[in-house]
Amino acid sequence: MSTAAFTIEPFTAVQRRAVATLVLGIQRREFGIPVTLEAQPDLVDIAGFFRKGSGEFWVASAGDKPVGAIGLLDIGEGRGALRKMFVHPAWRGREKGVAQGLLDALLAHAARHGMTEIVLGTIDKFVAAQHFYRRNGFVEIAEAELPAAFPRMTVDTTFFRRRAPAAV
C-alpha cells in the first residue's frame, strides 16, 4: 500500500533497529511502560517471530523512517493474533490514515490466508487504540474467551475479537 505521505510494506531486516526504537519509544515515553527490548522476543527477531504459518509484520514508512507497525501472529485453527500495533504520535489520526492502512493490510492478508478470526490484547492506558478497534468491528471479550493458543502478555488487561473478512 502506498499514499503520497507513507508506504506500508512487509518488514525487512534493515528496519529492525528503527522499528524497535519506534515501539520502545511509545511504550516507555508516552505510556510509561517499563519494558526492555530484551523482554520482547517479537521485537528482537521480528521475522522469526511473526513469519510462521500465515503470520506477517508490516511497517508504515515516511521516506525511510518507520512511522507505524503492526504484526499478525498465526495462532492456528484459522486464528490470528494482532500484536505490536504502534503509530508515531505525529502520524496518528483518521486524516493521516496510517493506523487504518496498517489494519487494512493485516485484515486483507488474514483473509487471503483463510483466517476467520483476529484476536488481540491491550492495556487500559491505550484508550484511543481501543476506540479504534471498536470502530473497526472488534468487540471486547472476557479473558476466558481467548483461544488457548493466544499469546497473552502480562500487561494485557483488555481483549478484543473480530471475524476476519472473507477473501475477495
Q: What top-level class would CATH report for the domain 7-118?
A: alpha beta
pLDDT of residue 125: 82
Examine the pLDDT at 62 and tell me if it is beyond 70.
yes
pLDDT of residue 31: 86
Examine the pLDDT at 3 and tell me if it is beyond 80.
no
Domain regions of the chain by residue span = 7-118
Run of H or E residues at 6: none
pLDDT of residue 154: 83
Q: What is d(CA 151, CA 20) in angstroms, rounded to the nearest whole number? A: 20
pLDDT of residue 168: 57
Amino acid at 21: T
Rg, C-alpha atoms of the chain: 15
Return the C-alpha cell found at 40: 520482547
pLDDT of residue 126: 86
Q: Whole-model pTM?
A: 0.93
Examine the pLDDT at 2 and tell me if it is beyond 60.
no
Q: What is d(CA 155, CA 157) in angstroms, rounded to the nearest whole number? A: 6
DSSP 67-82: EEEEEEEEEETTEEEE
Examine the pLDDT at 1 and tell me if it is beyond 80.
no
Return the C-alpha cell found at 1: 500500500
Q: What is the mean pLDDT of residues 131-154?
A: 95
Q: Which residue has the higher pLDDT, 44 or 155?
A: 44
* Sheet bearing 158-163, strands edge to edge: 7-10, 56-62, 65-76, 79-87, 117-122, 158-163, 139-141
Q: pLDDT digit string (tens) for 80-109?
A: 999 999 999 999 999 999 999 999 999 999
pLDDT of residue 167: 65
- Band the pLDDT of 78: cuts 50, 70, 90: very high
Q: What is d(CA 132, CA 113) in angstroms, rounded to the nearest whole number? A: 24
> How far apart, in Å, are the Cα atoms of 44 and each of 25, 38, 128, 151?
15, 7, 26, 16
